[in-house]
Amino acid sequence: MGIFVDQVGYPAHGRKLAVCNCACNFQIIRLSDRKCVFDGVATKKGFDPSAGEETWEIDFSDLTEEGGFYILSGKGETSPVFSIDSKVYASLQKDLLKALYFQRCGCALTKEYAGAYTHEACHTSPAILYEDYAAHTENPQTFDMTGGWHDAGDFGRYTTPGAVAVGHLLYAYELFPESFRNSLNIPESGNGMPDVLNECLYELRWLMKMQFPDGSVSHKLTAYCHADFIMPEEDHDPFLIYPVSSMAAADFAAVMALASRVYAPFLPDFAKEALEKAKKSFDWLLENPYIGFHNPEGSNTGEYDDDCDMDERMWAAAELLRSDHDSIPAYREELQKYVDSDINKTDFGWTDVSGFALLSVLTDPAHTAGDKIETKLRQSLFAETERLLAVMEESGFSLAMKPEDFCWGSNMVVCNRSMLFILAALVSKGEQKEQYTQAALEQLHYLLGRNALNVSYVTGHGEHAFKNPHNRPTFADGIELPMPGWVSGGPFKTPCDPKACELIPAGTPPMKCYVDEVESYSTNEITIYWNSPAVFMTAYFETL
């Protein structure tokens, strides 16, 4: 028997559900004195095809006492420990955001800010254009490209994922600023600007270096091949400025336009520069068609290929519509073109950024886009959230995921769907708002351990938190536990790395296709854009 709970915990007020895989009576036991504070009977939920087993719900919503607890079944099994608290996700949110500091490239991470997870400055040598590298040019052009965040378990830096991660974070701050009052203990702390903006600024200043004078933007900055599992300062392969893509230019334009209004009260000169760079890239987009990207033969760093740039252009138009008041009619016309198309409009991932346009328009207090665009995007929002609510009803874990949704990085999908529910809550009222808020929270419960594997997919948070991320520094630093706050990619229905293929038997249900092994890049890597939507989620719940 298994009893699956959110191993971080539950807000003091609201719905509290655990899941078990057989019928039972249960008691909620207070950790401090081992006394029962609540009891009941699990209710049959049904067969969960993603988990491959029957499920029952344990409902203890009426328990509002704060503290530490665990569930004891009538058969003697116990759940992991969890908390009930009005601010139960405060520490989690801080660690999710602080994890990005540990991805900083080009600077030393010192003990004062990094604790045990220190390393020397890395990747400080000038980068060269890929074209010069490929042509073996004797005296190639070199550029200072220091800064930014390592994208994932590798040392590459990529425009589109970086823009998406910053987009999640800037919107989290713009919508829920009260959730970002505490210091992260990073070098910029105490400078008068919230630390979420300090951390994003480190990435934004690097992104600016990726723009060429004509407004086009390099797709990525990486070595030709991934480094071995070494510390970042030990990686001395030359870094290459790869060719441009239209996706990179559009995401760059969008996030710079967003940054221009978020940073205006704190850094007006930077905000002005960001807007000018956004406009330059948008102008370049208007003059250029889709330009894709594929790795040259032999290069194995992240490709982030995408066969459509309409969603990226849509996001750019939406952000510039809000931020550049000099050209509203032109941006509105451009945005209308994409809104009227049949492209998806509800995702927040790096492949499909359309949800950011939705978020921009529907949270705009000035309603700059106008009723026609707003109405159409609201219809898209609620059509998708109603579909996802129906998916949740079929899930034994109240998860808005079908078996086929467990793709590479499935936890990103979980987080992004939670973000969509949060957006629906922000533009709803009364019972509908509460329904969407609860739906968003159920996705977080899954991430933090209420899943068929009884795993918390955030390092350092939960009794059974995963411990072996596919991440070069956490493997090479000689420290037993990884830094806290990293989100794992999670279960992948068709795992493709050798370690996962070795350990996951054929026919395993999708929710169980996961191994906590450092070698498993297809189920257990970390990335900046899997953390960033989790920051958005927890920031919202901390405001309730």
Which residues are catalytically annotated? Answer: 154, 470, 516, 525
d(CA 136, CA 140): 8
Q: Give the CA count within 13 Å in the CB-facing half-sphere of 189.
A: 12
In terms of C-beta distances under 8 Å and separation of at least 24 residues, what long-range contacts does 20-25 make, across chains too? 20/55, 20/56, 20/58, 20/73, 21/53, 21/54, 21/55, 21/56, 21/452, 22/54, 22/56, 22/75, 23/56, 24/56, 24/73, 24/74, 24/75, 24/77, 25/73, 25/74
Residue listed under structure tokens 């300090």: 198
d(CA 56, CA 69): 20
Q: How far is CA 385 from CA 389, 417, 418, in A?
A: 6, 8, 10
How far from the centroid of its chain's Cα atoms is residue 233's Cα? 26
> Please, is 266 exposed, middle or buried when counting C-beta atoms within 10 Å of its C-beta (0-12, 13-18, 19+)?
middle
Strand partners, 9: 83
Q: Locate 155 and state its tokens.
A: 């040392």
> Please, is 303 exposed, middle or buried when counting C-beta atoms within 10 Å of its C-beta (0-12, 13-18, 19+)?
middle
d(CA 301, CA 161): 14
